[in-house]
Structures are given as structure tokens and as C-alpha cells.
């Protein structure tokens, strides 16, 4: 009997020592996506005790609650966006993982390190400070260029900030100055961006911008405290001979909706050209959803036109409903296009515009159905003062249209 009891205790002890984890290990993680040139795009997240995952980008915290286990497989699904991470689950850890966007046929390898909260490793003492405003010029593979405005803040080795372009901002960027090399990244379930550059006090050179493993551009920058991008209200406009817009697209119930419907008669209407896959559109949708709660009683309506890269109409509508439910959007979102989010397709659907330069683009229509302003892109919360000035301009202009 004594021998049986000893054997039983030994088995219990060994079981405790070989604890099997059926869920992700709690704590901090460092994850890296393998992009071009064998570069690693890092981001950080934490698995909390209730199983919730929090992804961190500077001041941004993204809560993820949809983690699915099936046999030896695990998948992490981000709120709103189609993309997800899938891998093999082995005793609390993820192996052989990939970041997947099915509709775009994109797959990026991902690796995870548990119990690590560093973004970039083995960082040397910085010999420069990048805090301030930078005038940036990006050059794409085929030779085309675009301008941008970098706004950075450095504390010790750590750098936070954002980059604004004529089509919107790159949201919450976080990184380090490693000696004289600037490294910063963002991963939010849709954006997977990595930037590097050599820096002296007033210039950035040999800069490289990676988006996932499918896109790469180079850039240079110089300090310029007074630098401003072209104003967002001057970039997109109606072609000569037009003073209004027309469209008719289905809503999530299959009903065809247009600005001629009774719902929009004699009202100010903000038409939002967007996509559920677009982080700037998500920032804008959150803002518009909140504004609609008060403005709908003041004869102001919102309507969104979604250009989706989902391969089927069913998946496109599923993405729209997911966005509406997650954000709490009460205004209609119409499916303008599925199978491609190419801006050329948007131009075909809205031929009265000179071009659709950006998702999102907002078209302000007065009570008589005339277009009064077109705002290209969206500068979200990561842009700080620019976001605050947008809100002020929005309320002032909508107020003018309401009172006419």
C-alpha cells in the first residue's frame, strides 16, 4: 500500500512538472513578421488572464477577443479587419505562424517570443534626436514619388509619432533610435509597416519603407518645422459641368439606395468613400458614427460607399456588417464594388470626380443636393493637433450647411 501511495504521489508530481497549456501562455510577447530583404517587422502584444490579447503601437491599444483553437491549430482574428494570424498550437505557444489576408492572397511568416516586451532588440545608445517635423519624399519601385510629413517624439531610445501623407496618416508608429539608425513599425491587423533610415541631426538618408512582404519604397527626409502638405480640401473636385453626384448601390439588406431617396431629401449629407479594410477609414468611421448620434436630429445624414477587395459579394457584405456591429454605425454602408479596391474602379463608379485619390474621401452635399466640399483622406487621432483642427473645421462647415 505504501508503494502504491508513493507511486501515485510521483505521478502527480510529474504531471505538475509537465503542465499542459490548453490556451496561450499569459504575459508579454514580441512578434516579428518577415518582410523583404530578410528584415523583421516587430510588434508587441500581451495575453491577459481572461484570454484577451492587447496589441500595442505607441499610445494605441487594440483589444482582440477572437482567438480560436481547433485541434493543434490556433487563429487570431482582429476586430473589423479580414486579416488574421494562424499557426500550430503547442502547449501554450504558437509555431509555424502566418499573417494571412485571403482576399489578397497574401501570406507573411510570423514568429513569437514569449515573455518579451521589447520591440527592437540590442539597441545601441542613440547619437541623435529625431524629435520634430520632417519633410519626407518617398520613391516607389517604378519611380513615382509622393510627399509626406513626419512628426516624431523621442525620449531616450524610444521614438513615437506618425507620418501624414496627402491620403491620410500611417497611424501610431513606435520604434527606436539605434545609434544613428531610426527604426519604427506598426501592426494593427491591417497595417504592417516597417521603416528604417540613417539619421544625422537634420537629414534622413537610405530610408526604406516596407509594407508586409509585398511592397517596398525608399525615402529621404529633412528637418522642416514649417512644412505643410497640400490642403485636403483642394485635391479632389468635381469635373467641369458637374455640381452634384449620383450613385445607386445596395445596402446590407439588398435595397438599392441613392441620394434621391426620401431619407436624404432637404438634408445635409456627408458621403464617405471608404473600405472596411482601411485603417484610416476605420478612424473616420468611428468619428462619423459618434457625430451621427447628435447630427441626425439636425437634418444631417451620413452614407458610406464601400469599395471592398473581398472576392465575393457575400464576404464583402460580411465585412460591412462586421464593421457596423463593431463600431456601432447606424448610417447605411452601401457596397459600391467588390473584388477590387483599386481607385480606378472607384473613378468608374463616381465619374463626376476628377479622381478618387484616397480611401477615405468625404463629399459634403448641401440641402439642395449640391456638392460643397470634398475632403481627401483622414487625419486620425495619431496626428494630434491635426485631428483636433479637423474636428473644429468639420463642425463649423457642417453648421454652416445646416443653417443655410
Q: Are 161 and 153 in contact (CB under 8 A)?
A: yes
C-alpha cell at 85: 494570424
Residue 250: how many other CB atoms lie within 10 Å? 15
Task: Write out pLDDT tens, residues 51-106.
Answer: 899 999 999 999 999 999 999 999 999 999 999 999 999 888 899 999 999 999 99
Report the C-alpha gap between 4 and 143 in whole angstroms.
78
Say which DSSP state 66 is in. Answer: E
Report the C-alpha gap between 390 and 399 in whole angstroms.
14
pLDDT at 14: 47
pLDDT at 150: 98
pLDDT at 288: 98
CA distances from 294 to 43, 310, 354 (A): 37, 32, 32
C-alpha cell at 15: 504531471
C-alpha cell at 211: 509594407
Q: Specify the pTM.
A: 0.91
Size of the chain in residues: 404
Closest CA to 305 of 271, 267, 281: 271
Q: Are 47 and 76 in contact (CB under 8 A)?
A: no
C-alpha cell at 378: 483622414
- For the chain, list residues with pLDDT below 70: 1-20
Amino acid at each position: 500500500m505504501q508503494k502504491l501511495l508513493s507511486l501515485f504521489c510521483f505521478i502527480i508530481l510529474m504531471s505538475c512538472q509537465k503542465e499542459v497549456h490548453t490556451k496561450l501562455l499569459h504575459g508579454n510577447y514580441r512578434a516579428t513578421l518577415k518582410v523583404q530583404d530578410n528584415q523583421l517587422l516587430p510588434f508587441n502584444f500581451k495575453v491577459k488572464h481572461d484570454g484577451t490579447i492587447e496589441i500595442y503601437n505607441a499610445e494605441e491599444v487594440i483589444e482582440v477577443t477572437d482567438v480560436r483553437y481547433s485541434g493543434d491549430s490556433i487563429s487570431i482574428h482582429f476586430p473589423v479587419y479580414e486579416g488574421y494570424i494562424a499557426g500550430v498550437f503547442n502547449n501554450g505557444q504558437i509555431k509555424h505562424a502566418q499573417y494571412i489576408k485571403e482576399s489578397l492572397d497574401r501570406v507573411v511568416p510570423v514568429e513569437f517570443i514569449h515573455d518579451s516586451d521589447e520591440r527592437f532588440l540590442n539597441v545601441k545608445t542613440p547619437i541623435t534626436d529625431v524629435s520634430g517635423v520632417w519633410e519626407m519624399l518617398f520613391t516607389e519601385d517604378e519611380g513615382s514619388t509622393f510627399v509626406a510629413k513626419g512628426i516624431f517624439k523621442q525620449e531616450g531610445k524610444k521614438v513615437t509619432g506618425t507620418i501624414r501623407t496627402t491620403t491620410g496618416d500611417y497611424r501610431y508608429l513606435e520604434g527606436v533610435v539605434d545609434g544613428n539608425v531610426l527604426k519604427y513599425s506598426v501592426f494593427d491587423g491591417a497595417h504592417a509597416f516597417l521603416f528604417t533610415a540613417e539619421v544625422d541631426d537634420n537629414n534622413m538618408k537610405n530610408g526604406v519603407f516596407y509594407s508586409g512582404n509585398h511592397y517596398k519604397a525608399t525615402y529621404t527626409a529633412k528637418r522642416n518645422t514649417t512644412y505643410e502638405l497640400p490642403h485636403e480640401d483642394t485635391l479632389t473636385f468635381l469635373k467641369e459641368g458637374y455640381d452634384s453626384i449620383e450613385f445607386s448601390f445596395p445596402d446590407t439588406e439588398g435595397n438599392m439606395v441613392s441620394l434621391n431617396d426620401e431619407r436624404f431629401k432637404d438634408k445635409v449629407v456627408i458621403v464617405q468613400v471608404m473600405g472596411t479594410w482601411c485603417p484610416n477609414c476605420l478612424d473616420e468611421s468611428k468619428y462619423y458614427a459618434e457625430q451621427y448620434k447628435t447630427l441626425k436630429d439636425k437634418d444631417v445624414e451620413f452614407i458610406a460607399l464601400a469599395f471592398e477587395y473581398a472576392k465575393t459579394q457575400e464576404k464583402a457584405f460580411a465585412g460591412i456588417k462586421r464593421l457596423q456591429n463593431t463600431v456601432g454605425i447606424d448610417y447605411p454602408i452601401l457596397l459600391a464594388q467588390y473584388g477590387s479596391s483599386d481607385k480606378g474602379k472607384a473613378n468608374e463608379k463616381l465619374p463626376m470626380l476628377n479622381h478618387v485619390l484616397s480611401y477615405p474621401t468625404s463629399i459634403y452635399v448641401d440641402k439642395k443636393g449640391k456638392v460643397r466640399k470634398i475632403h481627401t483622406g483622414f487625419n486620425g487621432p495619431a496626428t494630434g493637433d491635426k485631428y483636433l483642427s479637423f474636428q473644429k473645421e468639420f463642425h463649423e462647415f457642417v453648421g454652416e450647411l445646416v443653417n443655410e
